[in-house]
Amino acid sequence: MSKIKVITAYEGDCCYQDLTLGNMREYCQRWGYEFKANINSPYWKPLVYPHCMMWRKTEMLIEELHDCDWILWLDLDCFFLNMTVPLEGAFTDETADLVITGSFGPCPECGKAVHNVGLLSFRNCNWSREILTGWWDQEHERIKLNPAPEYTHCVGETLWLSCQVVENPVHVSHVKILPLAIAGWATITGSPDQFLTHQYAALQPAKRKMFEKLEQRVIR
């Protein structure tokens, strides 16, 4: 049986964090997964502009990728809709080292598919460590070239992983892309198959009401 770790992080106050953290904790307790949340944690080194919260996921994935078989990163705006579905199968795959969810559009630079990086599952292996280190290093290179925090030239948190890894023929055999119908981005299909969602709500405090509504319809 795989040992699975689920991690999340956030800096600052998020008005719905009790709902989403409670949801993640309940799900992980049900299935026996380790759950670690670094919210306003002294664990972090200070971030220097133009670093932003997004890079905490890379940092935390690198730090926590040990003592487990698989690690699942969840943005704080992720939410389990169906607690009866385990991560095994969808987010752990014998043939893959990275499980990511489907595309939500093309990269403005190269036209390759851009993936949802709010939900990421990495196998504890050397390939994952190399990818995560490369993901972290490229951010430092980018800042030296151009300190503007915009997403351009296939770099930045989302584009680098999508353009340079997921859509790169060199890495294709390591990556499994889950259908949005299983772990959707932004939309709720209403199907019990969609057991996890990422709502792109980190910058939208009004989303508390949405998570309150979702909480009412969680399948337990």
Report the interface residues with Zn ion, using CB under 5 A: 107, 109-110, 154, 163
CA distance 63 to 166: 22
Q: Which is nearer to Mn ion, 10 or 124 (CB)?
A: 10
CA distance 181 to 191: 8
CA distance 136 to 127: 14
Of 81, 118, 194, 196, the one binding Mn ion by CB under 5 A: 118
CB of 48 to Mn ion, least distance (A): 22
Q: Which does 107 bind (CB under 5 to 8 A by kind): Mn ion, Zn ion, none?
A: Zn ion
69: CB partners within 8 A, 6+ apart: 2, 3, 4, 92, 123, 124
Q: Which does 75 bind (CB under 5 to 8 A by kind): Zn ion, Mn ion, none?
A: Mn ion
Residue of this chain nearest to Mn ion (CB atom): 75
CB of 76 to Mn ion, least distance (A): 7
The token duo for 42 is 């002294």
Q: Which does 167 bind (CB under 5 to 8 A by kind): Zn ion, Mn ion, none?
A: none
Tell me whether residue 213 is exposed, middle or buried, using C-beta atoms within 10 angstroms of its C-beta: 0 to 12, 13 to 18, 19 or more: exposed
Cα 125 to the center of its chain, rounded Å:
18
94: CB partners within 8 A, 6+ apart: none
Q: Which is nearer to Zn ion, 94 or 150 (CB)?
A: 150
Instruction: Please report, as residue ranges, which positions from 127 to 186 form the binding site for Mn ion (by CB under 5 A).
Output: none
Instruction: Please report, as residue ranges, which positions from 15 to 54 form the binding site for Mn ion (by CB under 5 A).
Output: none
Binding mask 67-96 for Mn ion (x = CB under 5 A): --------x-x-------------------
Q: Which residues bind Mn ion (CB under 5 A)?
A: 75, 77, 118, 202
